[in-house]
Amino acid sequence: MTADQKISASSLTAVKPDEDAFKNDPTATLEGVRGKDVTKAAKQLLRESAKRGGGSIQMQDVVKIYPGSTKRALDDFNLDIKPGEMVVLLGGSGCGKSTALRSLAGLEDIQGGRIMVGGQDVTGVPVNKREMAMVFQAYSLFPHMTALENVAFGLEVRGVGKEERRKVAMEQLELVGLADQAKKYTQQMSGGQQQRVALARALAIKPRVLLLDEPLSALDAKVRVQLRDEIRRIQLNTGTTTVFVTHDQEEALAVADRIGVMNKGKIEQIAAPQDLYQRPATEYVATFIGLTNRLPGASNGEEAVVFGQRLPLLPGSTKGDAVAVLVRPENLTLALPSQHDSHVGERARVEVIHFLGSLVRVDTVITSGEYQRWNKGEQLKVTVQLPASELPAGLVVGDDVVVTPRAVAALAC
């Protein structure tokens, strides 16, 4: 069996075989798991994935320049995805994430680099020959067809017989929880149901790669959460290699095996959600993902002193006597002056208290004026997040507090 026929352990997550079976070999082959406690469904999943060439993706030094522009929408863009993995491309408007997805799908011509899928070079290969399926923000369903007919449409185009395509379409509708809606016309369905039909239609053709271009952005908040979890469940069950584009951080953190944070046509960092959040490699990543405080400090490249507290620093941190140290709100503590007996920390005044259920977020402003010059003449504002049980009793807006960093690794820039 070739390297291209290997499959990632992530595609087995849903069926939970032996949790240690792939610990030391994340690209274990069919032979490697034979004899292990793997379910029949998981074995079938492995066979299908290997048969389809594994669904690995490599985008190598891809350049995309739109007609009439000299700016690179993709600038020597590189992306490597293992079979069965869900990778989310995350970034603000104009960063190139949708361009990357469309270039992978073959919807955009590229001016440089190459694209490999399952070990095969598909650069220049027509869209309908790439064995991919795409789900857009707009559902693009046929209003004159039922849900069943919409899902079966791609199979009909491929010459699949009537009975077989009906059988497959019903299986996909069942997978997305809409088997009882098969005979409904799509305009009779809610937005969330229509997007489920679009997803079922994409999966029905058994694509090597599933591409999702902001598929949830047109839905209301509650439906978005439900459907994003449903998409992740389905992706794990099918083991389909998936690329998901979004600008929503929470969405990305909730569903991804890895997240690629894009900026100016390139991926600044790609990592597992927890690693990306806790160990950002650049200032852009640290400030784009989650909330971050920019605090003044002195750094030797390995540790920094912030508000009198020594903090270990992440790789790539800057040295200097007046650097910005990026500290997450949950990596700060807050206490009343009467309860604070340490020599570290800075006095602050409470401006806003946000109650978030089990958590509380407190916006403060540092009262010492010595930081204003560092902060370009502005008062230094600091946000602290802590469990509601740790909020000082009786704390109200206007109270004086002491803010202290925890000794958790941060990035200095």
Task: Give the C-alpha separation, 21 to 35, whole Å.
Answer: 11
Tokens of 412: 């200095």
Alpha-carbon dihedral angle through residues 69, 74, 76, 79, given to the nearest 10 degrees: -170
Can you give the pLDDT at residue 40? 53
Can you give the pLDDT at residue 193? 92
Q: Where are the alpha helices (DSSP H) in 29-146?
A: 30-33, 40-51, 97-105
Tokens of 234: 């389905």
**Do 296 and 373 form a contact (C-beta atoms < 8 A)?**
no
For the CA atoms of the chain, what is the radius of gyration? 25
Half-sphere exposure of residue 235, counting CA atoms within 13 Å on the CB side?
24
**Do 343 and 308 form a contact (C-beta atoms < 8 A)?**
yes
Can you give the pLDDT at residue 48? 52
Convert 35-50 into a string of H (helix), E (strand) and C (coil): CCCCCHHHHHHHHHHH
Considering only CA atoms, which of 388, 401, 397 is closest in space to residue 307? 401
For 300, other C-beta atoms within 10 Å of its C-beta total 13
**Do 65 and 35 form a contact (C-beta atoms < 8 A)?**
no
Can you give the pLDDT at residue 373? 81
Can you give the pLDDT at residue 384? 98
Q: Which residue has the tokens 């990632």?
A: 8
Q: Tell me the sheet residues that pair with 268.
A: none
Can you give the pLDDT at residue 54? 59
**Domains of the chain, first to last:** 52-275 (3.40.50.300), 291-412 (2.40.50.140)
pTM: 0.80
Residue 41, classified by CB atoms within 10 Å of its CB into exposed (0-12), middle (13-18) or buried (19+), is middle
Convert 318-377 into a string of H (helix), E (strand) and C (coil): CCEEEEEEEECHHHEEEECHHHCCCCCCEEEEEEEEEEECCEEEEEEEECCHHHCCCCCC
- Phi-psi sector, 124: left (phi>0), alpha (psi -120 to 50), beta: left
Considering only CA atoms, which of 405, 295, 287 is closest in space to residue 342? 405
Which residues of the chain fall below pLDDT 70? 1-54
For residue range 122-181, list pLDDT tens digits in order.
999 999 889 899 998 887 899 999 999 999 998 998 898 999 999 999 999 998 989 999
**Do 173 and 186 form a contact (C-beta atoms < 8 A)?**
no
Can you give the pLDDT at residue 371? 85
Contacts of 364 (CB under 8 A, 6+ apart): 334, 348, 349, 350, 351, 381, 382, 383, 384, 401, 403
Can you give the pLDDT at residue 221? 85
For 24, other C-beta atoms within 10 Å of its C-beta total 7
Considering only CA atoms, which of 212, 288, 223, 314 is closest in space to residue 256? 212
Measured in whole angstroms, how far is the alpha carbon of residue 90 from the centre of its chain? 6
Task: Give the C-alpha separation, 26 to 23, whole Å.
Answer: 6
CA 132-136-138 angle, 5° bins: 150
Half-sphere exposure of residue 294, counting CA atoms within 13 Å on the CB side?
17
Considering only CA atoms, which of 280, 253, 277 is closest in space to residue 268? 280
Contacts of 345 (CB under 8 A, 6+ apart): 307, 308, 309, 333, 335, 402, 403, 404
Start-to-end CA distance of the chain, whole Å, equals 47
